[in-house]
Amino acid sequence: TKELALGALIGVVAGAVLCYAVASTTKAGIWDESPGVAILAVVALAYFSTESLGGSAYLATFVMGLMVGNMEWLGLGHHDEHAALLEGFLGQVAEIATLLVFVTLGLNLPFEALSRYFVGGLLVMFVFIFVARPITVLACLLPDRRGEWTGKEIAFISWCRETGVIPAAVASLLLARGVEGAEIAVSMVALAVCVTLLLQATTAGYLARRLNLVD
C-alpha cells in the first residue's frame, strides 16, 4: 500500500543519511563522536515527516534501525570507541522505551474489561505457559543440533520468558487508535505481564538451582 511504500522509502533515505553521519570513515562521519545526537535528530525528523506525509512512521524508523545496525553491508563502519558509544546509547534508550511502554500500558489499563475477562484470561495464560510455550521451545530447539541443548536447559527456557514489551506496545497502540476490542487485548497483555512476573520471574532462580544450571 501507499502508506507502507512511503514509510519504507523514507526509512531507506533517512537510514542512509544516518549511516553516513555516524560512520567512522574519512569521507563520512560528521557525527561519529556523538551518535546519540545524530540518531535522535534524524529519527525524529524522519518519524514526523513520514507521519505528516501519510506514511508508516513505524516502518520508516524500523528500516532506519535495520540499516544502522548493518552498516558494514553498506561499506561503512565504526571505530571501536565510537561503536561502544553507540551501543551504550542504544542500551539506555531501550531501557527508557521499555519503561515508557509499561507506564503507558498501566495508564490505559481498562479495569472493567480486566475484571470481566479475568477468569478467561487466566485460562489463556495457563495454556500459554504450560502448553504453547513448551511446544514452541521444543519446535525451535530440537532441530538445533549444534546447540546440543540438554533436557534441563530446554525445561528452563520453557518456563522462563520475557515480560512482553512488544505485545504491550502493540496493545497500547491498538487502544490509542481506537481499534475495536483493543481493551480486551490490553487487559490480556497486562494480565500476562503480571502472571509471568509474579509466577515465573520469582521462581526462575529456584528452578535454575534445582536443575543444576548455575554454579
**132 near 140, Cβ under 8 Å?**
no
What is the number of other CB atoms lying within 10 angstroms of the CB of residue 208?
A: 15
Please tell me the predicted confidence (pLDDT) of residue 82. Answer: 66
pTM over 0.75: no
CA distances 22 to 60, 83, 94, Å, are 18, 10, 19
87 and 169 co-located in one domain: no
The residue-averaged pLDDT of 152-162 equals 86
**Which has more pLDDT, 215 or 182?**
182
Give me the half-sphere count of Cα atoms (radius 13 Å) on the Cβ side of residue 182. Answer: 16
Percent of the chain exceeding pLDDT 70 equals 91
Tens digits of per-residue pLDDT, 119-148?
A: 988 998 899 889 988 999 999 988 888 888
30 and 77 co-located in one domain: yes
- Separation of alpha carbons 144 and 158, rounded Å: 15
Please tell me the predicted confidence (pLDDT) of residue 135. Answer: 93
Cell of 187: 487487559
AA letter at 77: G
- Boundaries of domain holding 173: 111-210
Please tell me the predicted confidence (pLDDT) of residue 174. Answer: 83
26 and 87 co-located in one domain: yes
**109 near 186, Cβ under 8 Å?**
yes
Q: Give the 3-state secondary structure of residue 87.
A: helix
In a domain, 31, yes or no: yes
Burial category of 145 from C-beta neighbours within 10 Å (exposed 0-12, middle 13-18, buried 19 and up):
exposed
- Separation of alpha carbons 61 and 4, rounded Å: 12
Please tell me the predicted confidence (pLDDT) of residue 162. Answer: 64
Please tell me the predicted confidence (pLDDT) of residue 80. Answer: 67
**109 near 175, Cβ under 8 Å?**
no
Please tell me the predicted confidence (pLDDT) of residue 25. Answer: 60
Please tell me the predicted confidence (pLDDT) of residue 8. Answer: 92
Please tell me the predicted confidence (pLDDT) of residue 6. Answer: 92
**40 near 97, Cβ under 8 Å?**
no
The residue-averaged pLDDT of 106-125 equals 84
18 and 62 co-located in one domain: yes
87 and 133 co-located in one domain: no
In a domain, 106, yes or no: no
Please tell me the predicted confidence (pLDDT) of residue 28. Answer: 54
88 and 116 co-located in one domain: no
Instruction: Using the Cα atoms of residue 181, residue 183, residue 186 and residue 188 in order, give the sign of their dihedral.
Output: negative
91 and 118 co-located in one domain: no
Tens digits of per-residue pLDDT, 11-54?
A: 999 988 888 877 766 555 566 567 777 788 888 899 899 989 98
For the chain, give the mean pLDDT: 83
Please tell me the predicted confidence (pLDDT) of residue 76. Answer: 73
CA-based angle 101:104:109, to the nearest 5? 125
Number of domains in the chain: 2
